[in-house]
Amino acid sequence: MLATKTSVGKRDELIVIRSKTITKDEYNEDIITWATFATVRAEVKDAQGTEGYQADQLTANRTSLFDIRYLAVTEQMQILYNDRYYEIVGIQRPDRRRSLILKAYILDET
């Protein structure tokens, strides 16, 4: 048994991973749609928050970590969790093809 094995009981939250599709309309403008890629169990941890200036306004980013079983996830995907959308900004593979830790910022937090 591996020392890094995660207990299934810790992955007690249900999340939806969504993939982006870009199509063109009749004016050749991009239309972005999101489709469910996978619905999986995850261990969710709140990480640090950061503040910074964007368009001359102070903004805050809250980071969360989602520990899931290995899946072919990319940073172009997003997460839906507790009726909020998260942008994936980093993917860690702590134990090669067994699990992933997705680092994500919450989108449109007011």
Which domains are seen in the chain, by residue range?
11-106 (2.40.10.270)
Instruction: Using a cut of 0.75, tell me whether the model's pTM lies above it.
Output: yes
Q: What is the mean pLDDT of the chain?
A: 84
- How many Å apart are CA 85 and CA 98, to the nearest integer? 25
Lowest mean pLDDT among 6-10, 34-38, 42-46, 89-93: 6-10
Task: Quote the pLDDT of residue 1.
Answer: 39
Q: For residue 84, what are the CA distances in angstroms to 2, 23, 40?
A: 34, 24, 16
